[in-house]
Structure 1
């Protein structure tokens, strides 16, 4: 921002503070106690036939003022939208009209008036009295240029919400999506629960954790990377269907689809498998689209996405063959997989296993091709330490991920409930961690103990709510659907 702009901004702020001082000298309240509205802005137009020539009380922020001698028009914005005000000296008195003219854009006011239509047919409110509720000490962004700087928009979300109504609508839709998700699951008999956000052991997913410290216990704790292991303990304890909607924290890279703290819905159902989870996933997402947006077909970045069940189901091996020509079902050794990957230009280590290489090829060459909703099934065991293995081919597990527009939105398993197998996989993860892999999982002896008491056959599902909302609101970055995304601290001016 140039020095001239900063200087102008400071001048404008100084003017507003001078007005504040004058208000105090005149014994005028600049920060009122309360003003109860009778309606919202959108009600005035929506219910005009009922409200015409009737009195209403509104509160909101002045977004525009157009003065024409002894009468003014103003735009008042509240949570619901905007309405036009008509303020005339003859209606409110000369002194109050003079006071109104000294108000600034951004000031919060309460008004009383009657609903009418102007000669041009615009529904408006003829103001009979008003009060200043809060003096705004900072000017809003200039009307015709608005707030474009994304760094400012995300850091000062309050300002973004004031001047960009479509942003507010995105978060209204977000709230509706989460509400409908709860309703869908509760109607299917799922119980919403809460599990710890601070864990003594980082587990339930492959990710680098954030570390904090508990002073009284003098011990390090990890902000949770997933609630999975606690939710499965509840299945062991006898709950049959549980879900949790809450934050996870992962200390890893940031991008248009990654934020260090993010919201997920995770659920577990006894006597279910990953086929049941596929059916539940596609029905849930389709229900959300229909209930919140009114359609199963949504536009995302000028591409129509059809959430209508049934979504395509294809194994990872089949998907890699379809999009790269490599048939991993023909490879019998790690070395063959290494050479195959290198043959299409993917650099992999000779120390990598068959399953790790298959997953790498899939991520590099297949993911971005999956535009319409698709279930990728049967993941390698190396990247699925909590999923039940396929007995007919133990290199793979009963696991799927759901992809839309090249992005994973859901992850699900037929859950591993064999405690001895789980212990062996934790030991392999521990060895990887000791070898320097900071994302490998830790040994969780209490979870093994829980499995030893017996966990029924169980299906588990996790859905990334932020990514799903990106798709349903046509948002290009995850920061557009998180009210306060993680940012670097502001540099002190």
Structure 2
């Protein structure tokens, strides 16, 4: 194997490549004309017999297997749609071409094939090959065919190899692509307009999270990777677009675990003249529709549990959820009493809580969140942890905010959006005070956004949905790394001699 760090070249394959190039063989041609995909051949010739078809076909893809029987070779070719068997005979190719194929084309190489369709004696639809062309020489060896990449970490680091050898992995990302496409179609059909907002921002906002920072040399300015597109999308509502959405890459400088990746994908949507009740209805219908249309059912299996996305879904206030799960009536206790309860149960974050609302949120996370297996809307959040949500119309100290939980995971977060500029300014100032005291997840003051609200934003409902987690649920994967093509990973340790050379 090649000793260069990070390269997995097989020296014998490299030598073969060099010999081909020295002999004038075009190892990496520019183009190949193909007429069909593997799946299309199976669809077009369902009744083919043992005689070759009159119609010729041309396919291209990777060679996955190669089984030699003297003057005859059986091989499997795979493309983006599936696989098809090749039947290669010396008498058909000619001695020179057959010898070239046998000697120089290996498993893992990408080839183009022309020939006719027939069915083998064992009943497999195959291509009777007339011509085979090398299109790309692979000089890295594929993993053993029956097991693929066996180390999970290697699968994530070398996703390209995982996709070559792991049909399940390919199926996950096929489904992810379809889900994203159906999401766009659903919103477009309902009059939503898709926009792109800045990824690099002078002020981060839209969520309570620690940002990634960078620096623009020309502007001589510190900038941030966005943690959410919310504040820019709401500027568009101010500007007169009444239904907007963005499928956005967000970045949060936080821990990595099975449910979190520093770079993740969300869809956020905002609708003028709507409130959080409307957004719950939208979220419920959107997700159940996408799940049904892409998986064929409204029921999925996740962590060995059957989860039904059949509507309607359960709705319960945060107060009632804590009361049902823990028997605690938040507003029947003083802050000191709540602190004592939190200490008795060793609840994380209790040291920072100073109000009933903050304890309510902590008790919910501790007693309730993990128990929410079936889709459940939790609504009416305390104002302390909802700086962008509108105050509740009837419940002092609360906001019109909801979160959707499935399988113990937060899947969506929505509000009746705060559109009072003076209230928003005050909320930002409270957040900034927390930030100044060391809360790394508190939000900055975005005066330009406050100014935008000063021009008038209509009553608006908004919601954000985590696409990665939605795909996790749809595919039954309990790690977010399984549904992100190239997840964030710790750097690999280099050998000491590599470090010295560097």
| TM-score clears 0.5 | yes
RMSD: 2.0
SS of 1:427's equivalent?
A: helix
- Alignment counterpart, residue 441 of structure 2, candidates 436, 439, 442: 439
Q: Which residue of 2 aligns with 1:22?
A: 19
- Alignment counterpart, residue 267 of structure 1, candidates 262, 266, 269: 269
- Alignment counterpart, residue 301 of structure 1, candidates 281, 300, 303: 303
- Alignment counterpart, residue 324 of structure 1, candidates 323, 326, 340: 326
SS of 1:262's equivalent?
A: strand
Q: How many Å apart are 1:50 and its aligned residue?
A: 7.3
SS of 1:20's equivalent?
A: helix
Quote the Cα distance in structure 1 between the aligned partners of 2:148 and 2:241.
52
- Alignment counterpart, residue 45 of structure 1, candidates 42, 47, 71: 42
Quote the Cα distance in structure 1 between the aligned partners of 2:336 and 2:272.
40
Q: How many Å apart are 1:125 and its aligned residue?
A: 0.6
Instruction: Note if 1:185 corresponds to 2:182.
Output: no
C-alpha deviations, 1:56-110, integer Å up to 9, x for none?
Answer: 1010111110111110100101111111101111111112112111221101110
Structure 1 runs (4+) deviating above 4 angstroms are: 4-7, 9-12
Q: Which residue of 2 aligns with 1:282?
A: 284
Q: How many Å apart are 1:365 and its aligned residue?
A: 1.9
C-alpha deviations, 1:23-51, integer Å up to 9, x for none?
Answer: 12332221122111110111222221477
- Alignment counterpart, residue 140 of structure 2, candidates 138, 141, 146: 138
- Alignment counterpart, residue 399 of structure 1, candidates 398, 401, 412: 401
Instruction: Note if 1:63 corresponds to 2:86.
Output: no
8 A contact 1:317–1:327 mirrored in 2: yes
Q: How many Å apart are 1:355 and its aligned residue?
A: 1.3
Where in structure 2 are the equivalents of 1:105-144 lying within 5 Å?
105-144=107-146
Q: Which residue of 1 aligns with 2:29?
A: 32
8 A contact 2:2–2:9 mirrored in 1: no
SS of 2:398's equivalent?
A: coil
Quote the Cα distance in structure 2 between the aligned partners of 1:129 and 1:35.
13
Q: Which residue of 1 aligns with 2:343?
A: 342
SS of 2:179's equivalent?
A: helix
SS of 2:121's equivalent?
A: coil
8 A contact 1:317–1:329 mirrored in 2: no
Q: How many Å apart are 1:408 and its aligned residue?
A: 0.4
- Alignment counterpart, residue 176 of structure 1, candidates 175, 178, 198: 178
C-alpha deviations, 1:99-141, integer Å up to 9, x for none?
Answer: 1112211011101011111000011111011111111111100
Quote the Cα distance in structure 2 between the aligned partners of 1:257 and 1:358.
23
Where in structure 2 are the equivalents of 1:385-396 lying within 5 Å?
385-396=387-398
Q: Structure 2, unaligned stretches of length 5 or more?
A: 496-502
Quote the Cα distance in structure 2 between the aligned partners of 1:365 and 1:182.
36
- Alignment counterpart, residue 464 of structure 2, candidates 462, 465, 469: 462
Q: 1:321 to 1:76 in 2, by over 3 A?
A: same
- Alignment counterpart, residue 153 of structure 2, candidates 151, 154, 159: 151
SS of 2:10's equivalent?
A: helix
8 A contact 1:338–1:350 mirrored in 2: no
Q: How many Å apart are 1:492 and its aligned residue?
A: 4.1
Scaled by the length of structure 1, the TM-score of the pair is 0.95
SS of 2:268's equivalent?
A: strand
Quote the Cα distance in structure 2 between the aligned partners of 1:6 and 1:80.
35
**Number of matched pairs:** 488
Quote the Cα distance in structure 2 between the aligned partners of 1:12 and 1:237.
55
Q: 1:450 to 1:12 in 2, by over 3 A?
A: closer
C-alpha deviations, 1:383-416, integer Å up to 9, x for none?
Answer: 1001011243322110000000000010000111
Q: Which residue of 1 aligns with 2:499?
A: none
SS of 2:428's equivalent?
A: helix
Quote the Cα distance in structure 2 between the aligned partners of 1:160 and 1:388.
46
Q: 1:451 to 1:5 in 2, by over 3 A?
A: closer
8 A contact 2:8–2:140 mirrored in 1: no
Where in structure 2 are the equivalents of 1:78-89 lying within 5 Å?
78-89=79-90
- Alignment counterpart, residue 232 of structure 1, candidates 234, 246, 249: 234
Q: Structure 1, unaligned stretches of length 5 or more?
A: none
Quote the Cα distance in structure 1 between the aligned partners of 2:138 and 2:113.
17
Quote the Cα distance in structure 1 between the aligned partners of 2:60 and 2:144.
23
Q: Which residue of 2 aligns with 1:361?
A: 363
Quote the Cα distance in structure 1 between the aligned partners of 2:8 and 2:201.
51
Q: 1:225 to 1:56 in 2, by over 3 A?
A: same
8 A contact 2:148–2:162 mirrored in 1: no
Quote the Cα distance in structure 2 between the aligned partners of 1:188 and 1:251.
34
